[in-house]
Amino acid sequence: MRFKTNRLFKHFQSFYCKQFSTIISLKNTTIKAHSSREYLWHYSPFVCVYSSDTKKSFQNLEKRAEALKDAFEQKKEQIRDTEQKIRLKSVEFVRDIKQHKNVTSKKLRVKKEVLIKDILETKAKVKEKIEGVVEKENVFTIPNILCFTRIAMSPYLGYVIMQDDYHLALGLLTFAGITDLLDGWIARNWKGQASKMGSFLDPMADKVLIATLFISLTCQNLIPLALTLLIVARDAALVSAGFVIRYISLPPPRTLSRYFDVTHATAQLAPTFISKVNTAIQLLLVGTTLASPVFGYVDHPALQALFGVTAGSTVISAISYLTNKDTYKVLKKL
């Protein structure tokens, strides 16, 4: 009951305070001014107490609001300073990263240049050592040029035989035989004309010439096919063995440019005696067979017997290459 009375009193006091402030503002109305003086006279203690408490409360609230505003401004200023510091730190950090990146790039560039220089120097030293191990010789000698001439002439000789021009073919074969005799004689008797490359080139030229003659004469039905296959297979095996020997005898690095560089002599071929005899028999066979249409003794019994002798010598020479250990020699310059 007391609580409700207090609340009613407060509402009443608030109402009359409002009435008082309203009446004071109306200065031209005397009756209301008089009544306001009566109200103030009767209720002034209550109004003054309530106004004093409210004013203190507002003053406290204003002080707290000012304090909170000052604190907020201080925090805001601190946040602004912190953001500025973070921004400066970020700029410094980015600048340090760029400087470190530039320094690292320069170091890597210098190391790369040094590494490339070392690789080139090492490559030059290795090449120099290899050149010292592998003997380098002059391949443009007269015997080698004669061998190249026989190799280049062989396809044309086969073409002439296929055209049934046996007179011209016999003349070309005679010329090839003369060059074969000359290159061997020059290499043995002229100083500086012998070469390790010639030991491979001379038998290869003979193999190319003989294979061309046998194939073209077989196409003209002048030599049996079985004999031609036997001779071509044996010569192909010898040529393949020569490429393998070249690869084995070539010191590392084994590159294509060094492999086909004919100025680097890495091995020397030494044909067996039976192989030389077999080559002479084969040349005799193709020569007599090529001359048979010219002189009219095709299918002569002596020619048939020469076919058998050639086949036997070819087989024996192939076996001699397999059993003889001195067929080739790897060269090493000391």
pLDDT in tens, 212-224: 999 999 999 999 9
The pLDDT of residue 70: 81
Q: Which residue has the higher pLDDT, 324 or 83?
A: 83
- Greatest mean pLDDT among 141-150, 241-250, 264-273: 141-150
Q: What is the mean pLDDT of residues 151-175?
A: 92
**Residue 330's beta-bridge partner residues?**
267
**Residue 126's beta-bridge partner residues?**
none
Domain definitions of the chain by residue range = 62-134, 138-310
Q: Does 271 sit behind a cis peptide bond, omega within 30 degrees of 0 on the bond before it?
A: no
Locate tokens 């020619």: which residue? 303
**pLDDT band with cut points at 50, 70 and 90 for residue 91:** confident
Tokens of 203: 């038998």
Please state the φ and ψ torsions of residue 138, each to the nearest 5 degrees.
-85, 120
- Give 163's DSSP letter: T
Give the span between the Cα atoms of 137 and 147, in whole angstroms. Answer: 17
* Among candidate residues 325, 310, 219, 227, the one with its CA nearest the CA of residue 272: 325
Are 106 and 157 spatial neighbours (Cβ–Cβ below 8 Å)? no
The chain-wide mean pLDDT, for the chain, equals 77
pLDDT in tens, 110-137: 888 888 887 887 777 666 655 554 456 6
Residue 295 CA from chain centroid, whole number: 64
Instruction: Report whether pLDDT(74) > 80.
Output: yes
CB-side exposure of 246: number of CA atoms within 13 Å? 22
> In this predicted structure, which of 40-44, 98-102, 202-206, 211-215 has the lowest mean pLDDT?
40-44
pLDDT in tens, 305-315: 999 999 999 99
Q: How many CB atoms lie within 10 A of CB 291?
A: 16
Give the span between the Cα atoms of 64 and 154, in whole angstroms. Answer: 119
The pLDDT of residue 246: 78
Q: Which residue has the higher pLDDT, 196 or 333?
A: 196
> In this predicted structure, which of 41-55, 85-99, 198-212 has the lowest mean pLDDT?
41-55
CB-side exposure of 226: number of CA atoms within 13 Å? 6
Quick one: which H or E segment has residue 135? strand 135-136
The pLDDT of residue 161: 94
Q: Which residue has the higher pLDDT, 186 or 7?
A: 186
Q: How many CB atoms lie within 10 A of CB 114?
A: 10
**Residue 136's beta-bridge partner residues?**
264
Q: Which residue has the higher pLDDT, 327 or 51?
A: 327
Give the span between the Cα atoms of 222 and 289, in whole angstroms. Answer: 7
The pLDDT of residue 188: 82
